[in-house]
Chains A and B, each alone.
Chain A
Amino acid sequence: GAVVSQHPSWVICKSGTSVKIECRSLDFQATTMFWYRQFPKQSLMLMATSNEGSKATYEQGVEKDKFLINHASLTLSTLTVTSAHPEDSSFYICSARLPGVDSPLHFGNGTRLTVT
């Protein structure tokens, strides 16, 4: 079954508004979660690493004031797209790794954001 839950699965918002996306680890504690962005027919680009209890680490070129990440608990990370614009429309996917030496990354089902 799913180990990472993401909500909502899709959202449509007007330009200038903010949208919050939630990522939850199910039945395990995730001190670190990763946020990826995927443009149509393209690969996943790492946006940021979300760290529980501390500031997120953003990849080069990602605006931290636009993409606010909060990891307030060991099972929840949120990504808020602030003052969204049409160019922010994309597929956002979170992921986390189960504890354990050989554990791979597990992904949420993604959130399709459309900004009109």
Chain B
Amino acid sequence: AQSVTQLDSQVPVFEEAPVELRCNYSSSVSVYLFWYVQYPNQGLQLLLKYLSGSTLFKGINGFEAEFNKSQTSFHLRKPSVHISDTAEYFCAVSVAISVNTPLVFGKGTRLSVIA
């Protein structure tokens, strides 16, 4: 079975500062990795996804993530955060991309951007 560990439950950061949200995964097979963002009382919005190939992936809102197979990590980064980036961020893993394959989520990291 696969699992996801988000190492930080909360990350406070000042506006315009860089941020990194950490995600490590565990799986005996190749996986697909995703980052989702959740604003209060809303569903989840896809930030970016890793399917195969490259190691650096760009998503929406200026976020990017680096896949590191040797360290089994998929950390999310943004060079300069805004107040509007305050939200909950979830890393998720799937062993297949098919209509009947769900995602397994990490526990989430609450990013708080301070003015």
| A-to-B contact residues, CB < 8 Å | 4, 6, 9-10, 30-32, 34, 41-44, 46, 49, 51, 91, 93, 95-97, 99, 101-110, 112
Contact = CB atoms under 8 A, between A and B. Distances in A.
> Considering the complex of A and B, which 6 residue pairs feature the smallest CB-CB distances, nearest first?
A107-B43, A107-B44, A32-B100, A109-B43, A43-B107, A34-B102
A42 B108 contact: yes
A102 B51 contact: yes
25 contacts: A30-B99, A31-B100, A41-B108, A43-B90, A43-B105, A43-B107, A44-B105, A46-B103, A46-B104, A49-B100, A51-B100, A91-B41, A95-B44, A97-B97, A97-B99, A101-B97, A102-B51, A103-B97, A104-B46, A104-B97, A105-B34, A109-B42, A109-B43, A110-B41, A110-B42
A103 B96 CA distance: 11
B52 to A, nearest CB: 9
Contacts of B106: 43
Interface in B11-62: 34, 36, 41-46, 49, 51
Main SS of the interface on chain B? loop
Nearest to A31: B99
A95 B104 CA distance: 13
B9 to A, nearest CB: 8
Given A43-B106, A93-B44, 14 more contacts: A4-B43, A30-B99, A31-B99, A32-B99, A34-B102, A34-B103, A41-B110, A43-B105, A44-B90, A44-B105, A95-B103, A97-B98, A99-B99, A106-B46
A10 B43 CA distance: 12
A27 B36 CA distance: 22
Contacts of B34: 104-105
Nearest to A34: B102
B91 to A, nearest CB: 10
